[in-house]
Amino acid sequence: MKLVFATHNAGKLREVKELIGHKYEVIGLSELDDLEDIPENEPTLQGNALVKARTVWNKYGLACFSDDTG
């Protein structure tokens, strides 16, 4: 199963692949075609993470999660 981690942070992506890469094909945002920059203009970190995950889901229909630490 392909799982998108909505990040451009190579370090975060590597850590997640080490944790769950044996069960899922984890990819980052840089591996998606035609994805424009996702605005991070929500007032909370949770809001920004949700926007990123929903954007990927709506455009690609892929399972996705996100993390925003500010």
Establish whether 33 is a catalytic residue. Answer: no
Q: Is the pLDDT of residue 50 over 70?
A: yes
Q: Is the pLDDT of residue 70 over 70?
A: no
Q: How far apart are CA 8 and CA 23, in angstroms?
A: 21
Q: Is residue 45 part of a domain?
A: yes
Residue 69's pLDDT is 79
**How many domains is the chain partitioned into structurally?**
1
Q: Is residue 26 part of a domain?
A: yes
Residue 10's pLDDT is 95
Name the pLDDT band for 68 (thresholds 50, 70, 90): confident
Condensed to tens digits (0 to 9), the pLDDT of residues 11-38 reads: 999 999 999 999 999 999 999 998 888 8
26 vs 14, 38, 42, 70, CA distance in Å?
A: 9, 19, 26, 22
Q: How far apart are CA 24 and CA 64, in angstroms?
A: 12
Task: Please tell me which residue in 34, 37, 67, 68 is annotated as part of the active site.
Answer: 68
Q: 52 lies in which domain range?
A: 2-65
